[in-house]
Structure formats: structure tokens, C-alpha cells
Amino acid sequence: MTATPLTHQPHRPRLAPWLGLALLGLLMLGLALVTLAGQGGAGAAWRALFAVTPGDTASLVLHYAWWPRLAMALLAGGGLALAGVLMQQVLRNPLAAPTTLGVASGANLALMAASLMAPGLLLGREWVALGGGALAMGLVMALAWRRRLAPLVVVLAGLVVNLYFGALALVLLLFHQEELKGLLIWGAGALAQDGWGDAAFLAPRLALGLLAALVLLRPLRLLALDDASASSLGVSLKHLRLAALGLAIFLTASVVSVVGVVGFIGLAAPNLVRLAGVRGLAARLLAATLLGGLLLATTDLLLQGAGPWLPTLIPTGAATAALGAPLLLWLIPRLRLADKAPPTATPGLGPRHPAPARLAGVLALALGAALVVALCWGQGAQGWQWLTHWDVLEWRLPRLAAAAASGVLLALAGTLLQRLTANPMASPELLGISGGSAMALMAAIFLLPAPGNLALVAAGTLGALASLAVLVGINRRSGLRPERLLLTGVAITALFDAVRAMVLAGGDPRGQLILAWLSGSTYYVEAGSALTVSLLALLLGLATLPFARWLDILPLGAASSQALGIRLNRARLALLLLVALLTACATLVVGPLSFVGLLAPHLARLLGFARARGQLVGAALLGALLMVLADWLGRQLLFPDEIPAGIVASLIGGSYFIWRLRRL
């Protein structure tokens, strides 16, 4: 499967892209003059570039802070754009970039781990970041190799690696908040400088990377051909791909090691120059590098100028990610997926259990047994033991009830989505619905004076509906094709990650509560909240059953559904509203990422729940069982410390997702 932009206009004047770059450079210059107005003007800044005037504080700030920051923005943006061009050329995938393929998150996780466990390694920080980035890229390649690096599979592999490494980074952050407090800002892509050291560190590495890219220019051009044609010309594709990807990882690791994760420059710049009409690889390398530097520098200057009016600190890397997500949403409808999508299994087909009611009874007994074990057995001061102090139940029972109810809600939402879209990879987590709900919940927490549970549920539902509206609006013309839905989910998830980074980097005391909630912790759940979410799970679960007939028919296709009397628009709207409400209620308790919405419907179908009603019941029981086990494992694995249930569930579900990708 290959993906190419549809907006190919070979007759566009060749000077247009370069004129665009010149105009962007003039915009950056104008913004720079505006920010310098309060620091003595352009003349003082020019003099301060070469020497510091004794006794002049403004000159000192300009020489050691303003100019190095501008230089760092140009260098970092150019390096990430160059890495993006190399990745897209090697993988023949316009959606490949350091952030979408997990390289940046791998480098960031490696630096976080090194700062905690082996601070001495940070003397060679680029090598630590290089190791983390190489590990992430290696995982992506291993997952996608069987499908010949198909664009969709590569992007999905990058998504799951991002989520996996993000969950691990969140574990480190939860247990070492004080030690890693400064890394919250740095990890979100802060460009603030206190000297020329970082710029002097990065500049020669990027120059070396650009020189190596030019050396590889001729063989890299052949990668535009198919594998057979390139091999017939004597090119060793294996070694060439390794060399080019290694160079891209080196560039990304060098940037991440000094400024943290800067989102979407590596995706935006190469695609923008391609859409502007730059076709030759050499021209794209140069134009994208220039554009990346100018984009990041312009964004940073805008943030500096708007700083006095912003309520909190916004790292430049998070801001570029927030701007890049809409770009990806705009790009998705303009992609042509030439080959067939990865094979998918139609929901509802597969092994059919002869007695689904009996199987549901067995699952209910298993859930009851898991609840008893989770309540009564675990580690204590005397080691593993059964519960002897029954007053502990008042602490354990609410959190287990909330975890089970959230599992039911997510499982039902995932089942509805998979049957509605005929896409077995659909889930609230992967389609960005949980991310949209989480963004709305964070906005409610920060903007409303004292939001109650009803207000939070309403806000979360509106956020989920907004994500669904984006999903449907972008993919309506393509018939809600699975690959496009998943790519849209990648973009919405990236936007959520950017918003999360801004919130956590702002230093607001409420950020700690946000962090605990995002991790999916049930530690703070009270009896009232547990009862509320349990009742919601019961009522919404019963509300899904009348839709069973629709869910049996919709996977057969639009024509068959209409022939059998289903009004498609009304059915889809009703089901999407129900999905939004289910997702919002679950996200409010266990955070946005758990993968239960993906895993439970799959397990239900594999066990033999073929019909919609049976799959809904089976998935609900399995979702509750998974979340109860995740909560119990989170309490036991690092006793007396706890891993939040949402993170444990995301690691379990992510493992299943990796296995599923390997079977594509």
C-alpha cells in the first residue's frame, strides 16, 4: 500500500515555494522586530549578538538568551524537518515523521530514565536519546516489516509505540514527580536558553547530518521506485534503509537531547514543500530544512510576543504539536491509499459458541471470583495474605466497583464502534474519542469554578461528540474507511497529547490532580462516585441492547442495511451519541487510555459471541474483568507503591494491539 498526496500539480511555477519561504522569513523577521521593541530595538540586538555591553542588562539578555533561543529554534526545526524528509523517502509514506513513528517519545523516555537511574550517562545525552529513538524505530519496523512497511501499518505501529512509551514515562513521572518536575517543561519542547552551549552542541551535528543526507542523495532517489526496480539497479535496499533511518534517528535524538519533544515539524515541513510543488529530493531536503527552521522560529516568536497575555507557560514544542494536528487532519482526505487496506475480520464472524448464555454465566462467575480475590488477597506488611481487617473493604470496594464499571462502559463503546464501522481496530482510545473527551474534561476543570460530576460528564460527552463529528466529517466521503478513521484518531490523539503537555508544564497545582486522573488511577474514587458510575454502566448497558438488531445488520453494508429497513443516518447518529456518552463516563473515572475498548470486544468475539447481543454482554463482562485485574495488578506489582489501573490496562491492551498488528 502506498500513499501519495492527491494535490500533485506538476505545472506549478518552480519559484512559488521559494517565494513562500521568503515571505515566511520576512514574517519571522517582523515578529523578531516586534519582540525586540521593548529590549532596545534591532540595533541594540545586532550589537549584542557580537558582544555584551558592560553594565547593560538588556544586552546581557539579548546575547545569552534571545539570540541563542532564535538559533536553537532554527536549528531544531531544520533538523526535525530533515529527519522527516528522510523517513518519508525511505518508507514511501507521507505520514512518517519523528513524532508519528515514536522516535521522539523513545528518545524522551530514555533521557527520563537516565536522569533517574544513571545521571552520569547524560554527559553523552545524544547517545542516550539515540538509543531510545533507535529502540522505538526498531519496534515500529519489526511490527510493520511483515506488511512491507505499508503506510497505515507503519503509522499504527508508531501510535502504539508512542502510547506504550508514554505510559512508561507517566509511570516514572508519577513516582518521581519532584525529580522530574523540570523535565515536564523541557520534555514538552521548551526552547529557552541561558547561553550558546546547546546551539554549539547541536549545530555541528545537524551539519554532519545534512552532509550525510547529501552523500546518500543519489541512492535515496531510487527509493521512489518500487523495491524490484530499485534492486534491479544494484541498490542494497536493506542497507540503504538502515543508513537513512539511522541518520534520521540521529538527527531526532540530537534535537530531543537539547530541547525535548517538538511536535509535528518533522511531519509538516516535508509535506508542505511537497504540496507547494517541490518534487526533486535535493530541493525537498533544502526547502524542508529551511521551512522547518522558519516554522519553529516563527511559532516561538509568536509565543514570546503573546507571553504577557497567556495565562500559563506554553512550551513551543507543545504549541507546534497543537498546530500540527489540524494539519494532519487536513492532509488525511488528500491522501490516496492505492492498494487495499490491511485485511480485517468482519465483526460478528468467526467461531460461534453453541451456548452463549452459558458462556456469559461462566464469565460472570470469573468476574465474581476476580472481585473476591482483588478484595481479599494481596500483599501487606506480613507479605501475601488474605484480608483479616474487613474495614479495608470500604477503601477497596469503591475503587474496584469503579474500575469494573469503567471497563463495562469502554467495552460497550468499543463494541458499538467496531460493528458500526465494520472495523475490528476501532475503539474509543484509537479513534481519538477518549482524547477528545479528556480535553473537554480538562477544560472544564480549569475553566469552571467548581464543576460537579454532572457538569464533568456533560463536558466529557460534548468533547467525545466533537471528536466523533471530526471523524465523520473528514471520512464521510470515503465511506468511513477503517484506515482513514484510524489516521484521524492519530491526529486527535496527538492534539490531546499537546494539550496535556501544556497543562502539565504550566505549573498549576491542579496539574497534579490532572496527572493522577490521566494515569487512570482509581485511588481517589469515593463510594458516591463508584455508585454513580456503576449505575451509569448498568443503565447505559441496558440502553445498548435494543440496538442489537441494527448492530447485526450494519456490518453487512449500507445497501443491505437500507434494504432491511434501517435508516442509516438516524441509526449512525443514535449509536454515535451512545458511544460518546459511554466514553465520557468511563474517561471521567479511568482516564483516556486503557485499550479496554479495543481488547474486550475482540476477546468476546474470539470466545464465540457472534451475535450483537451476545457480544455486547460478553464484552461488558470481559471489560469489567480486565479492569478489575488491572486494578489488582497495579496494587501488587510494586507494592507498597501503586501503578494506576489505566496504565496497567493500557500496557495489557497495547500488547494485544502489537500482536494484532503482527497478524495484519
CB proximity list for 440: less than 8 A, separation 6 or greater: 459, 460, 462, 463, 464, 466
Q: Is residue 53 domain-resident?
A: no
Q: Is the pLDDT of residue 106 over 80?
A: yes
Which pLDDT score is estimated for 292?
A: 92
Look up residue 338 and give its DSSP letter.
-
Q: Is residue 443 domain-resident?
A: yes
Same domain, 292 and 401: no
* Segment 588-638, tens digit of pLDDT: 777 776 678 888 998 898 888 888 899 999 999 999 999 999 999 988 887
Which pLDDT score is estimated for 349?
A: 46
* Segment 117-131, tens digit of pLDDT: 888 887 777 788 888
Q: Is the pLDDT of residue 151 over 70?
A: no
Q: Is residue 290 domain-resident?
A: yes
Q: Is the pLDDT of residue 229 over 70?
A: no
Same domain, 468 and 582: yes
Which pLDDT score is estimated for 226?
A: 63
Q: Is the pLDDT of residue 312 over 90?
A: no
Q: Is the pLDDT of residue 370 over 70?
A: yes
Higher-confidence position of 231 and 251: 251
Q: Is residue 124 domain-resident?
A: yes
Q: Is the pLDDT of residue 454 over 70?
A: yes
* Segment 200-218, tens digit of pLDDT: 999 999 999 999 998 888 8
Which pLDDT score is estimated for 207?
A: 93
Mean pLDDT, residues 383-388 taken together: 75
Same domain, 406 and 296: no
Q: Could you give the 3-state DSSP secondary structure of residue 195? A: coil
Kindly compute the dihedral angle of the four CA atoms of residues 528, 534, 539, 545, in this order, to the nearest 10 degrees. Answer: 170
Are the C-beta atoms of 505 and 318 separated by less than 8 Å? yes
Same domain, 267 and 396: no
Helices 316-331 and 482-505 meet at what angle, rounded to 10? 160
| Number of domains observed in the structure of the chain | 2
Which pLDDT score is estimated for 347?
A: 46
Same domain, 506 and 588: yes
286: domain CATH number is 1.10.3470.10
Q: Is residue 327 domain-resident?
A: no
The band of 70, judged by pLDDT with boundaries at 50, 70 and 90, is: very high
The CA distances from residue 511 to 270, 443, 446, in Å, are 35, 12, 10
Mean pLDDT, residues 413-428 taken together: 83
Q: Is residue 504 domain-resident?
A: yes
Which pLDDT score is estimated for 548?
A: 86
Round to the nearest angstrom and report the end-to-end CA distance of the chain: 13
Same domain, 300 and 399: no
Provide, for the chain, the percentages of residues in helix, strand and coil under a 3-state DSSP scheme, each rounded to the nearest 5.
Answer: 75, 0, 25
Higher-confidence position of 663 and 298: 298
The band of 344, judged by pLDDT with boundaries at 50, 70 and 90, is: very low
Q: Could you give the 3-state DSSP secondary structure of residue 318? A: helix
- Tell me the whole-structure pTM to 2 decimals: 0.77
Ranges assigned E (strand) in 95-209 = none
Nearest to 83 by CA among 258, 322, 270: 270
Same domain, 416 and 274: no
Ordered DSSP codes for 367-381: HHHHHHHHHHEEEET
Among the residue ranges 121-130, 483-492, 504-513, the one predicted with the least confidence is: 504-513
CA distance 60 to 54: 8
CA distance 206 to 488: 32
Q: Is residue 602 domain-resident?
A: yes
Q: Is residue 323 domain-resident?
A: no
* Segment 396-409, tens digit of pLDDT: 888 899 999 999 99
Which pLDDT score is estimated for 617?
A: 94
CA distance 258 to 125: 8
Are the C-beta atoms of 646 and 520 separated by less than 8 Å? yes
Percentage of the chain lying above the pLDDT 90 cut: 18
Which pLDDT score is estimated for 244?
A: 86
* Segment 534-561, tens digit of pLDDT: 999 999 999 999 988 888 887 776 677 7
Same domain, 295 and 369: no
Among the residue ranges 49-53, 373-377, 379-383, 478-482, the one predicted with the least confidence is: 478-482
Same domain, 441 and 298: no
Residue 181 belongs to domain spanning: 59-305
Q: Is the pLDDT of residue 318 over 70?
A: yes
Segment of 60-69, 118-127, 563-572, 586-595 carrying the highest mean pLDDT: 60-69
The band of 37, judged by pLDDT with boundaries at 50, 70 and 90, is: confident
Mean pLDDT, residues 313-337 taken together: 74
Give the domain-ending residue among 284, 305, 326.
Answer: 305
Mean pLDDT, residues 482-498 taken together: 76
Which pLDDT score is estimated for 333?
A: 76
Residue 498's Cα: distance from chain center in Å? 9
Q: Could you give the 3-state DSSP secondary structure of residue 206? A: helix
Share the mean pLDDT of the chain: 81
Same domain, 138 and 278: yes
CB proximity list for 117: less than 8 A, separation 6 or greater: none
Q: Is the pLDDT of residue 310 over 80?
A: no
Give the domain-ending residue among 265, 284, 305.
Answer: 305
Which pLDDT score is estimated for 348?
A: 45
Q: Is the pLDDT of residue 479 over 60?
A: yes
Ranges assigned E (strand) in 324-433 = 335-337, 377-380, 383-386
Mean pLDDT, residues 507-520 taken together: 70
Same domain, 530 and 630: yes
How many other C-beta atoms can be found within 10 angstroms of the C-beta atom of residue 290? 22
Same domain, 282 and 426: no
Percentage of the chain lying above the pLDDT 70 cut: 85
